[in-house]
Amino acid sequence: MKSFGKTDVRYWTERVFRRKRDGSEDTQWTVQIQYLDRREQFPLGTPNKAAAAAKARDIYVSLHGRGWEETLALYKPKAEESKPEKSTVGDLIREVAANANYRVTTFAVYCGALRRISADIAKIKGGSARFAPNGTGNKEWRESVDATPFPGVPTWSSLRSTGMRPTVPRVSVTKRRRSLMRPDNVMRMQ
Q: Look at residue 93 and tell me if it is in a domain.
A: yes
Q: Structural domain of residue 149, as residue ranges?
A: 89-189
Instruction: Calculate what percentage of the chain has a pLDDT beyond 90.
Output: 12
Evaluate whether residue 113 is within a structural domain: yes
Mean pLDDT of the residues in the chain: 77
Taking alpha carbons only, the member of 15, 13, 4 closest to residue 39 is: 15
Angle between helices 104-122 and 170-180 (to 10 degrees): 110
- Cα–Cα distance, 98 to 189 (Å, whole number): 12
What one-letter code names the amino acid at 16?
Answer: V
Same domain, 60 and 105: no
Q: What is the pLDDT of residues 152-180, one digit of tens each?
A: 545 555 555 555 554 444 555 556 656 65
- Rounded Cα–Cα distance for residues 35 and 60 (Å): 9
Tally of domains within the chain: 2
**Range with the poorest average pLDDT among 94-108, 123-137, 157-171:** 157-171
* H or E segment and range at residue 42: strand 38-43
181 inside domain: yes
**Least confident range of 60-74, 78-92, 99-113:** 78-92
Beta bridge partners of 32: 41
Residue 26: pLDDT band by 50, 70, 90 thresholds?
Answer: confident
pLDDT band at 124 (very low <50, low <70, confident <90, very high): confident
As a whole number of angstroms, the distance between CA 64 and CA 42 comes to 16
Answer whether 0.95 is exceeded by the pTM. no
The pLDDT of residue 54: 93
Query: Do 94 and 59 belong to one domain?
Result: no
DSSP β-bridge partners for residue 40: 33
Please indicate whether residue 78 or residue 183 has the higher confidence score (pLDDT): 78
Q: What is the DSSP string of 62-119?
A: HHHHH-HHHHHHHHSPPPP-PPPPPPBHHHHHHHHHHH----HHHHHHHHHHHHHHHH
Span 39-67, average pLDDT = 90
